[in-house]
Amino acid sequence: MKKSDCSRGGPIYVYDAHQQGYTANHGVLHPSSDSAAIDPDSGVKRGLSTRHLSMMALAGIIGPGLLVGAGGALANGGPASLLIGFGVIVARRDDNLVSFWWCLSGLADRFVDKAFGVAVGWNYFIIWVAVLANEYNVICSVLTYWTDRVPLWGWFLIFWFVFLGFQMLGVTAFGEAEFWLAILKLAGLTAFFIFAIMYAAGGLIGQDEPLGFRYWHDPGPWSMTLPGFRGVATVFVFCSTFYAGVESIAVAATETKNPARAVPLATRQVLWRIIFIYMGSAYFFGLTCPSDAEGLASGGSRALRSPMTIAIQNAGWQGGVNLVNAFIFITVLSAINASIYIGSRTIVFMAQNGKAPRFLGKTDTRGVPVYAIIFTNLFGALSMMNISTGAGRAYSYIVNLSCVSTFLVWGAISFTHIRFRSAWAYQRRSVDELPFKSLWYPWSAYSGLFANVFLAFVQGWTTLSPFNAGNFVDAYVLLPLFPIIYFGYKWWNGTKYWQLEEIDLNHGRRRDLDAAKKSVDDDLAYGRWKKKQTIWRKLARNF
């Protein structure tokens, strides 16, 4: 729909709870009216703008895990493993991001089985509460580096209430905070990339000789403790947790003012985020920080060590640790903010679809899901295991817990996508009718399914030789959770696995997206016509 449609009183597609679908409303809805601001289906507020969603896609979910957790990955696998790990995860990324959230809130129910949707939803929630716990772990560790007058649990309680209160302000406050924090994160990471280039080229003040690729030769591209494939397999665990955030733009689509325009725009920016931020970080971390640096993997008891910290200190600025910790502190504010938001919205839509306790799906008059926010934030208390285990070890434990769920959820996305496209073809519908189409289908979907199932089993492979019972349980304890939820819910509720001819492809179809696609096609056709007219005018003036 074009922007001018509203001013002309053109059709606006709104959700009709009685019709169970989107219908055209030819009246004018004022953007500030309650009917336009509150989604009538879910009760949440449509308070995110296009710029909010675009910045979320580009840098919103990047947190201290990339800056701090990369140290453990670099130590365990080496710089080559870090690059390979990120590169392989890029290759198996499914481009069907736009429909991801609907997979959790309805498509898995309709295209596979409702029990399948329940299993996917709870595993996705586990991912984000694990991320949340890790971010609380990091923020407490950063602050205890500067002062030990407040204990770890004291910092946790302070920030637990601070973030809880901020989330209660509503989605607009969340979006605005994410926008500006994302800009700071991009600026800080870009500054480090520039520093790394100057450091490698020998351009720093007081630097005697260029660094070059010294650390690729000594200690080498592979880790001495886990050489070759073992190191790469270990790094997969680290890399996969960061690619779990690329679908966050689809989670926020329901609370976006203009999803038909904002979601496709933000989706196209995901690839640049992957190349610039993740691949760039992997390359420059390995270039400027040796994989055998002391304390890189564990981090010690006072503060988690980052490859950025070690690189700056090796370059001669010992006080640079405070600058890096300040940068980490900024990123963790954004990461906790985003984790509570995504986790709470996940549980809201699950509760509204009968997959979680009903009270968690309620929202107040401002569209804020109060109960879901409190419920999600409670899981941040998992971070307090760092009191007994240490911050670095606690980080590894929690990451491993969420890793299997990440792979299973992404595999479920690919499988749901395959089922949808199979039903679409079986019922003789044209692919041209789809407003968004996955790149390289069906190869992308099938390779994504196979790769994710394979990685779910191989990610804990290093615990087998030598066998470590504790690490093995930590790596695989959540693997049986998906089938337990699926078969348990299916047995209790008697759900049905749908055949291709039984799948309903019309129910709840987003007619506003269809209208947006037609509008874009019309605009492109008009643009081509106008360009031709301009050429003919230029020719006419020359004669």
Tens-digit pLDDT profile for residues 53-77: 777 777 766 677 778 778 878 888 8
Q: Per the structure, how many domains does the chain have?
A: 2
Phi, psi of 15 (to 5 degrees): -80, 130
Confidence of residue 86 (pLDDT cuts 50, 70, 90): confident
Phi, psi of 21 (to 5 degrees): 180, -175
Mean pLDDT of 293-322: 74
pLDDT in tens, 492-536: 999 999 999 998 887 766 555 555 555 545 555 545 545 555 554
Nearest to 510 by CA among 13, 7, 11: 13
Higher pLDDT, 268 or 473: 473
- pLDDT for 388 equals 60
Domain end among 493, 518, 535: 493
In the DSSP assignment, the letter for residue 256 is: B
Do the domain assignments include residue 501?
A: no
Do the domain assignments include residue 21?
A: yes
Confidence of residue 38 (pLDDT cuts 50, 70, 90): confident
Considering the domain architecture, whether residues 353 and 387 belong to the same structural domain is answered as: yes
Residue 476 pLDDT > 50:
yes
Considering the domain architecture, whether residues 13 and 138 belong to the same structural domain is answered as: no
Range of the domain at 21: 1-30+510-543
Sign (positive or negative) of CA dihedral 337, 339, 342, 345: negative
Mean pLDDT of 198-226: 85
Q: Which long-range contacts (CB under 8 A, 24 or more apart) does 205-212 make?
A: 206/316, 207/315, 207/316, 211/287, 211/288
Considering the domain architecture, whether residues 67 and 135 belong to the same structural domain is answered as: yes
pLDDT in tens, 330-386: 988 988 998 899 899 989 988 988 889 999 999 888 889 999 999 999 999 887 776
Confidence of residue 436 (pLDDT cuts 50, 70, 90): low
CA 75 and chain centroid, separation = 24
User: Which residues are within 8 A (CB) of 491 and not within 5 positions of it... i.e. 6 or more apart?
Assistant: none
Do the domain assignments include residue 170?
A: yes
Phi, psi of 38 (to 5 degrees): -105, 125
CB atoms within 10 A of CB 198: 16
Considering the domain architecture, whether residues 373 and 515 belong to the same structural domain is answered as: no
Considering the domain architecture, whether residues 102 and 83 belong to the same structural domain is answered as: yes
The first and second tokens of residue 518, run together, are 């037609």
Window from 125-139, 195-209, 230-244 with minimum mean pLDDT: 230-244
Considering the domain architecture, whether residues 15 and 49 belong to the same structural domain is answered as: no
Instruction: Give the span between the Cα atoms of 191 and 326, in whole angstroms.
Output: 14
Considering the domain architecture, whether residues 61 and 146 belong to the same structural domain is answered as: yes
Higher pLDDT, 460 or 111: 111
Mean pLDDT of 236-265: 69
Considering the domain architecture, whether residues 342 and 441 belong to the same structural domain is answered as: yes
Instruction: Give the span between the Cα atoms of 515 and 521, in whole angstroms.
Output: 10
Nearest to 63 by CA among 244, 211, 303, 290: 244
In the DSSP assignment, the letter for residue 357 is: -
Coil, helix or strand for 51? helix
- pLDDT for 20 equals 37
Instruction: Give the span between the Cα atoms of 136 and 151, in whole angstroms.
Output: 13
In the DSSP assignment, the letter for residue 149 is: S
pTM of this structure: 0.79
Do the domain assignments include residue 380?
A: yes
Considering the domain architecture, whether residues 103 and 10 belong to the same structural domain is answered as: no
Residue 37 pLDDT > 60:
yes
CB atoms within 10 A of CB 288: 24
Window from 31-40, 322-331, 432-441 with minimum mean pLDDT: 31-40
Considering the domain architecture, whether residues 88 and 54 belong to the same structural domain is answered as: yes
Which range has highest mean pLDDT (86-95, 113-122, 292-301)? 113-122
Mean pLDDT of 311-329: 85
Confidence of residue 260 (pLDDT cuts 50, 70, 90): low
Do the domain assignments include residue 128?
A: yes
Considering the domain architecture, whether residues 22 and 44 belong to the same structural domain is answered as: no
141 within 8 A of 303, measured Cβ to Cβ: yes
DSSP, residue by residue, 196-224: HHHHHHT-STT--S--TTHHHHTT-SS-S
Nearest to 280 by CA among 96, 58, 456: 58
- pLDDT for 160 equals 94
- pLDDT for 409 equals 87
Q: If you compute the radius of gyration of the chain from its CA atoms, what whole number of angstroms results? A: 24
Window from 48-52, 187-191, 390-394 with minimum mean pLDDT: 390-394
Confidence of residue 298 (pLDDT cuts 50, 70, 90): low
- pLDDT for 359 equals 93
State how far the alpha carbon of 483 is from the alpha carbons of 89, 291, 415, 446, in Å.
24, 38, 15, 20
Considering the domain architecture, whether residues 103 and 17 belong to the same structural domain is answered as: no
Instruction: Give the span between the Cα atoms of 349 and 358, in whole angstroms.
Output: 10
Do the domain assignments include residue 218?
A: yes
Residue 299 pLDDT > 50:
yes
CB atoms within 10 A of CB 319: 8
Window from 44-53, 132-141, 531-540 with minimum mean pLDDT: 531-540
Do the domain assignments include residue 502?
A: no
The first and second tokens of residue 269, run together, are 């920016």
CB half-sphere exposure, 489, CA atoms < 13 A: 23
348 within 8 A of 124, measured Cβ to Cβ: no
Higher pLDDT, 200 or 228: 200
Mean pLDDT of 229-247: 69
Which range has highest mean pLDDT (94-98, 162-166, 510-514)? 162-166
Tell me the pLDDT of the chain averaged across its residues.
76
